[in-house]
Amino acid sequence: MARILVTGGAGYIGAHVCRALAARGDLPVSFDNLSGGHAHAVQWGPLVRGDIRSPAQLDDAFREFEPEAVMHCAASIEINEGQKHPFPFWENNVGGAINLTGAMVRAGVKPIVFSSSCAVYGEPDRVPIRESEPRTPVSVYGQTKLAVEMLLADLALSDDIRFAALRYFNAAGASPDAEIGEEHEPETHLIPNALKAAAGIGPARLEVFGSDYDTHDGTCLRDYVHVVDLAAAHLAALDRVMAGSSGLCCNLGTGRGATVLEVLQAVERVTGSPVPYDIQPRRAGDAAVLLADTELARTELGFVPEASSIDQIIADAWRFHARKWGA
Ligand SMILES: NC(=O)c1ccc[n+]([C@@H]2O[C@H](COP(=O)([O-])OP(=O)(O)OC[C@H]3O[C@@H](n4cnc5c(N)ncnc54)[C@H](O)[C@@H]3O)[C@@H](O)[C@H]2O)c1
């Protein structure tokens, strides 16, 4: 049994990573300040209420639990918030990563798997996006993810740490037993908001931003990957860094994707309810198409996104939300 410190373990992806770690016999120790996560999502190991902006709290956690490796999922994630208030984003995402890696070095813990993002690519010229494409983020959020990748790469050069950075595309879905799922507040992601609209919860009509993109139905196309598949990839990446490898920066997506309207149609199929929506003007910074090239994940991590069909993603998300909402 390996003890793994999971920052952001009370959050959406972190909780699924903890669930997957425990399922194979590892002990996940969640380190989370509950700013965006939920204590009820921490079910597979202890919860340390701590803040990655505090070196002392991180040192205490390393001393108490003696983890062998770190999964770093904690971050500020709300893109618009980062545009309005960049400093707290840099402080949390980059300052937090500096504190975390500092605590790792002091504790002599080298392996780390980092939650990066396709936001490091900005608005790419070519899709599907290969890892070798230029990294030109168009948001503060994307800049902070890129900065942490650079920090990890530098620290790996001096063998202070060993890392894998996983560039998720759009995480979606929920655990198949409907125990944990996406619970962001505010929720900005399309699928939970479309499910809300179908269930008649929240704003009566969904806003669809732009219908004149260069896609087959004019709405943006995104690469949705089931959170259970993401969690499986974390285990593979963890095994890799724990075995001594370092430096992998890898997309996690399916390479297929769905447009906004296709997602809404899938929500209607799964829930049996219409999703009322209004077309709004385009939003600044929304690329028409974001699709992962998945070759590196397949060859280096054996990544096969088995649960990531759009209907399965939405069916699992719906079971979780319907249970939560009593719908
Ligand atoms: N959800 C996606 O589609 C997606 C896509 C790409 C990358 N990511 C990245 O994956 C990671 C997890 O995302 P998520 O969707 O699960 O978000 P989330 O908000 O559900 O989880 C983040 C967790 O980090 C915790 N946290 C934030 N700041 C903290 C701090 N200072 N100290 C301790 N804990 C702190 C929050 O309380 C929360 O539990 C993030 O790093 C995010 O940037 C997510």
pLDDT tier at 27, thresholds 50, 70, 90: very high
Q: What is the pLDDT of residues 208-221, one digit of tens each?
A: 999 999 999 999 99
Rounded CA separation 236/192 (Å): 28
User: For a pLDDT cut of 70, what percent of the chain falls above it?
Assistant: 100
Cα torsion 59, 61, 66, 70 to 10°: value is: -90
Residue that is written with structure tokens 């001594």 in the block: 244
Q: What is the pLDDT of residues 218-249, one digit of tens each?
A: 999 999 999 999 999 999 999 999 999 999 99
Distance 8 CA to ligand 1 centre (A): 6
Among the atoms of ligand 1, which is closest to the Cα of residue 116?
7
Among the atoms of ligand 1, which is closest to the Cα of residue 189?
3
Contact 47, 18 (CB under 8 A): no
* pLDDT exceeds cutoff 90 at 89: yes
Best mutation site among 7, 33, 52, 77 for ligand 1 pocket (most ligand atoms within 8 Å of CB) = 77
- Write the CB contacts of 207 (distance below 8 Å, at least 6 apart in sequence): 277, 278, 280
* pLDDT exceeds cutoff 80 at 327: no
End-to-end CA distance of the chain: 39
Q: What is the pLDDT of residues 262-298, one digit of tens each?
A: 999 999 999 999 999 999 999 888 889 999 999 999 9
Rounded CA separation 118/131 (Å): 9
Residue nearest to atom 7 of ligand 1 (CA): 117
Residue nearest to atom 43 of ligand 1 (CA): 77
3-state DSSP helix/strand/coil % of the chain, to nearest 5: 40, 20, 40
Distance 31 CA to ligand 1 centre (A): 12
Give the pocket of ligand 1 (CB within 6 Å): 7-8, 10-14, 32-37, 51-53, 73-75, 77, 92, 96, 115, 117, 168, 170-171, 184
Distance 182 CA to ligand 1 centre (A): 11
Rounded CA separation 176/226 (Å): 11
Q: Is 141 a catalytic residue?
A: yes
Residue nearest to atom 34 of ligand 1 (CA): 32
- Single out the catalytic residue among 141, 168, 213, 224: 141
Q: What is the pLDDT of residues 139-171, one digit of tens each?
A: 999 999 999 999 999 999 999 999 999 999 999
* pLDDT exceeds cutoff 80 at 204: no
Rounded CA separation 138/285 (Å): 7
Contact 195, 225 (CB under 8 A): no
Among the atoms of ligand 1, which is closest to the Cα of residue 72?
41
- Own/partner contacts of 134-142, CB < 8 Å, gap of 24 or more, are 138/285, 139/79, 139/82, 139/83, 139/285, 140/79, 140/82, 140/83, 140/86, 140/89, 140/90, 141/76, 141/77, 141/78, 141/79, 141/82, 141/89, 141/93, 141/117, 142/117
Residue that is written with structure tokens 């979606």 in the block: 172
What are the structural domains, with CATH classification, of the chain?
A: 3-171+225-252 (3.40.50.720), 190-223+255-325 (3.90.25.10)
Q: What is the pLDDT of residues 255-265, one digit of tens each?
A: 999 999 999 99
